[in-house]
A and B are shown apart, each in its own frame.
Chain A
């Protein structure tokens, strides 16, 4: 049988799928037109404190009279909203969904507001074959969090990515103007290898790597105030050297430390600095 293929047929594609997808991307672009910098917080593995670091930077920004938003892209394990004391319900009007307000006026969007307490992320679904469409749906949710939330004028929008490198490519597609990524690691060698892989993926996707934060970088002795090691390894410095980027901060495992806010302010200054 002889027949023409898609691009040989000149007629209009009336499925409208391509034009609708393009319109969705335009909507993201328009919504983020009032946001000065979009920075993603990433790690190669879970449990390194991405959300804690996101909340620390956001709080420093809010206390410095900066307009800041936090988008929790970790749909399956949302934690940053609670760290910022932001709660639903979310108001909806013709312009979109109003973000919740957290500490210092930080504007927050998270699946935390949508899920019943203690329940995992779940979608209305026909029996079986969920693997076919679930990833697409979750990428769509991230797109709606970007495009349909009324972020308003922001100096900084922080995106708290889920562990691993998967979310990085989706984000790059949705936000071509992404200012860059901050990688979070703990000092261990295992974390270094895992975070390195995720950073490599981001680099290969053409996303600027802004710096590394080493979290849980030692623990302070309650008795003598000495900071001793919590993990063996030197992942922060090693990753910074490997990718030729700054080690933005080494944050000790001591959330109550009086020094920590100054470290977050230092990170913030570096993130808000316009590229040379």
Chain B
């Protein structure tokens, strides 16, 4: 994609890009000769189409993370992936803790399990018990979980 200042017959370089967080995308271009600028405003569907290619307009500052497109877009399991360096040190759930977790509504089950697991990892806790769950709930303000 190139932008051309018709009056000057000069290519307008990309100046700035913005993603305001509402699904849209904006990119500004300025003519180096006459200083006129234009802004391209993409609607959510257009922005999504480019995003679905797994590319960033204007280029990437960081390399893509493994399976970035899928992980960032699929609606599915929250525990589908584990960071390998943490996998070996993953805390174990006791039967009592699993029993309490089972009472959590299905639709938030994965998310709640992840929260407790991450809490345990951050606190070097190797076994998640009901007491650890109480402790996490109190510290993290997770009443009802």
A, B in one complex: yes
Binding site for B on A (CB under 8 A): 1, 3-4, 6, 9, 11, 13-17, 19-21, 24, 88-93, 95-98, 111, 113-116, 119, 121-126, 128-129, 132-134, 136-137, 140-141, 143-145, 148-149
Q: Which residues of A contact B75 (CB under 8 A)?
A: 119, 122-124
Q: Is the CB of B48 within 8 A of A96?
A: no
CB of B123 within 8 A of chain A? no
Question: Are A20's CB and B52's CB within 8 A?
Answer: no
Complex contact B84–A140 (CB within 8 A): no
Which residues does chain B contribute within 8 Å of A3, judged by CB atoms? 4, 6, 9
Q: Does B62 contact A (CB under 8 A)?
A: no
Contact B80 A119 (CB under 8 A): no
Asked if B1 lies at the interface with its beta carbon under 8 angstroms from chain A, I say: yes
Most chain A C-beta atoms within 10 Å of own C-beta, residue among B4, B51, B69, B80: B80
- Interface residues of B, Cβ cutoff 8 Å to A: 1-2, 4, 6, 9, 11, 13-14, 23, 44-45, 48-60, 66-70, 72-77, 79-85, 87, 110
CA distance A20 to B76 in the complex (A): 27
Q: Indicate if the CB atoms of A11 and B2 lie closer than 8 Å.
A: yes
Give the docked Cα–Cα distance between A18 and B25 (Å).
19
Chain A nearest CB: distance from B32 CB in Å? Answer: 10
Contacts of B9 in A (CB 8 A): 3-4
CA distance A17 to B49 in the complex (A): 12
Tell me the complex Cα distance, A148–B45, Å: 26
Q: Which of A4, A24, A144 contacts B67 (CB 8 A)?
A: A144
The closest CB in chain B to the CB of A5 belongs to B4
What is the CB-to-nearest-CB distance from B116 to chain A, in angstroms, rounded to a whole number? 16
Q: Which of B13, B51, B66, B80 contacts A88 (CB 8 A)?
A: B80
Q: Which residues of B contact A121 (CB under 8 A)?
A: 74
Shortest Cβ gap from B53 to chain A (Å): 6
A90 touches B48 (CB 8 A): no
With A21-B53, A132-B45 known to touch, is A144 a contact of B70 (CB < 8 Å)?
A: yes
Chain B neighbourhood of A149, CB < 8 A: 67
Question: Can you give 17 A-B contacts (C-beta < 8 A)?
Answer: A4-B9, A16-B55, A16-B56, A16-B60, A19-B59, A20-B55, A20-B56, A21-B53, A88-B77, A90-B80, A91-B84, A122-B75, A124-B73, A126-B48, A133-B52, A144-B54, A148-B67
Q: Most chain-A Cβ atoms within 10 A of its Cβ — which of B6, B70, B75, B84?
A: B70
- Nearest-neighbour CB distance to chain B for A171, whole angstroms, equals 17
Q: Give min CB distance, B7 to chain A, whole Å.
A: 10
A93 to B110, CA, bound (A): 21
A9 neighbours in B (Cβ, 8 Å): 2, 4, 11
Q: Could you tell me the distance between the alpha carbons of A186 and B12 in the complex, rounded to whole angstroms?
A: 59
The CA-CA distance from A134 to B74 in the complex, in Å, is 11
Q: What chain A residues lie within 8 Å of B50 (beta carbons)?
A: 17
Nearest CB of A to B57, in Å: 5
User: Given the complex, which residues of B lie within 8 Å of A95, measured CB to CB?
Assistant: 66
Q: Is the CB of B59 within 8 A of A144?
A: no
Pairwise interchain contact A97-B55, C-beta atoms closer than 8 A: no
* A116:B69 contact, CB within 8 angstroms: no
Q: How far is the CA of A113 from the CA of B69 in the complex (A)?
A: 16
If A15-B59, A92-B83, A137-B73 are given as contacts, then 8 extra A-B residue pairs at C-beta distance below 8 Å, sorted by A number, are: A14-B14, A20-B56, A119-B76, A122-B74, A129-B44, A133-B49, A143-B54, A144-B68
